[in-house]
Chain A
Amino acid sequence: MRIRPRYTQWLAVTILGGATILTLAVLVFIIVFVLEKGLPVVNFGFLFTNAEDMGRAGGIFTTLIGTIVLPLLAIIVAAPLGISTAVYLTEYTVETRATKIIRFGTDCLAGIPSIIFGLFGFIFFVTTLGLGWSILSGGLTLAVMILPTIIRTTEEAVKAVPKSYRQVSFSLGATRWQTVKRVILPNALPGILTGIMLGIGRSIGETAAVIFTAGSSLRMPSSVFDSTRTMAVHFYILAREGISSENAYGTAATLIIAVLAINLTAYWMMGRFIAKRS
């Protein structure tokens, strides 16, 4: 016998709603758990003094700097490269075997575990190019790692711009580049920014790729050729070596707050941008 639609409807709402609540609950639980353990040690002094005794005492200032500098470098390198590649693939080439292979390649790259990128970075940037454990090696490795994500999200964003915008633009005498610059990129920007945010998020949280390439020095770097340690790596080392679980959670809490702050800023910026354009 067929189940009455009324019941299937009820069942669907329960299952879908239940899944949503479960997801949210796990998320909230993790955040609350980390913040509860970590926030008590987070204060001005913790954020702005250097670590002492390998992190047993003192703060996390240099790792804060490392966490800002590495993803920044990664995004400065990866965003222009990735966006240009994506625009070229979608706007300037027709779909051929070659573009399909490139697309397949980027998809594969996006799925490779980050430790492989770490190993590649170690062999290529640290050893072969002789950059050593440094901000430069780490930043470039992270750039290679997030490049596929940026390419794919930009491609999707560019493809989502209505065809009619292109037609109108061309019909008014615009060249392809003018169309890209004036119509396609502005309209794809929210999507592109999302890709960049994903990239920043991945870089900030990355440990494996960083530890092999940027090293884990706690000293304040004075140039991009110096080694540095990010908060994620700091947390990993503090927790793994059993150095200080208090400071480990303090670091984790700071990391979570930083990621939240970045995302909120991005949403705010996007909102403002969209409001300004329409």
Chain B
Amino acid sequence: MMVAYQGANAVSNKIEINSLDLFYGKFQALKTVGMSMRENMITALIGPSGCGKSTLLRCLNRMNDLIPGVQVKGNVRLDGADIYDSSIEVAELRKRVGMVFQRPNPFPLTVFANVVYGLKVAGIRNSSRLKEIAEQSLRAAWLWDLLKDKLDHPALDLPLDQQQRLCIARLLAVQPEVILMDEPCSALDPIATMKVEELMMELKKKYTIVIVTHNMQQAARVSDFTGYMLLGEMIEFGVTNDVFTKPTKKLTEDYITGKYG
């Protein structure tokens, strides 16, 4: 099994990370991390608080660039091209690799204005085009029927789970290839969480998804591959089912069975 999936790797890895080190000033938050994310699959990152999951995720669309004093070594390849290369336009990269945050964070604007934000930034002015993409994106996030009559309502008046899916719609509007999700359900109740998980299963048909989660059941339920991190290192990475049922490392087993800490 392992051999088969590694063999396929060469063809359809969307993202490849090689010996990635990251420093916040003097503090090393990532230590020679290596892993890959396959196209149209969901990859989960799990591990205890502070192990570097969010840091690793932010490396994939260079959001770490915004933090003063960050230094990155090693490389991250998107479709084979190093995203830390000096020829890369960071804004363009971020359109290809989008992000959903922990707390739903719509702008204090209308539903419509939120969905088309990325498009306006990309210079699309044509209003029928904007409406068309807004509808597509809201449909893809399962919000169209709920919100089609509320497009001019303030986004912040929506319930939290709809806000979070609105954030997903806002991201889908810029037509990313990869979606990074940092604990996207941690502010949601179980029913809303299930809804987002179902949505992820749908979205992976078109997108490559990387999700950080504290919830191991969630990782087990939605992901195809799982990476277990500890203190900035990638301890174990493989097919989700294998990581959860027959981990190769003692550390992984301890964490998964709840013995950690």
Contact = CB atoms under 8 A, between A and B. Distances in A.
Interface string B170-211: 110010000000000000000000000000000000000000
Contacts of A167: 63, 66, 99, 101, 105
B109 A174 contact: no
Contacts of A94: 68
B105 A174 contact: no
Contacts of B3: none
Contact of B174 (A166, A170, A173, A187): A173
B154 A172 contact: no
Interface stretch (A17-25, A175-183, A202-210, A217-225): A175-183
B105 A168 contact: yes
A165 B91 CA distance: 16
A128 interface: no
A162 B156 CA distance: 14
B95 A172 contact: yes
Interface string B65-79: 010100000000000
Contacts of A172: 94-95, 98, 117-118, 121, 170-171, 174
- Interface majority SS (helix, strand, loop, mixed), chain A: helix
A174 B121 contact: yes
A145 to B, nearest CB: 34
Contacts, number: 64
A182 B120 contact: yes
A173 B123 CA distance: 11
A162 B108 CA distance: 11
A168 B107 contact: yes
A165 to B, nearest CB: 6
Interface in B207-252: none
A233 to B, nearest CB: 43
A178 B174 CA distance: 15
A171 interface: yes
Given A94-B68, A172-B95, A175-B91, A164 B121 contact: no
Contact of A277 (B63, B108, B170): B108
A162 B106 CA distance: 11
Contacts of A171: 61, 63, 94, 98-99, 101, 171
Contact of A278 (B120, B122, B156): B156
A170 B156 CA distance: 20
Contacts of A164: 101, 103, 105
A162 to B, nearest CB: 8
A167 B92 CA distance: 15
A172 B170 CA distance: 8
Given A278-B108, A278-B154, A170 B117 contact: no
Contacts of A170: 63, 66, 91, 94
Contacts of B156: 278
Given A173-B122, A174-B121, A183 B107 contact: yes
Contacts of B118: 172-174
B95 to A, nearest CB: 4
Given A187-B108, A277-B108, A278-B154, A173 B66 contact: no
Tell me which of A172, A174, A178, A277 has the highest count of chain B C-beta atoms within 10 A of its own C-beta.
Answer: A172
Given A172-B98, A172-B174, 6 more contacts: A164-B101, A167-B66, A167-B99, A167-B101, A171-B94, A172-B95
Nearest 9 CB-CB pairings of A with B: A173-B95, A172-B118, A171-B99, A174-B121, A164-B105, A278-B154, A173-B94, A173-B91, A94-B68
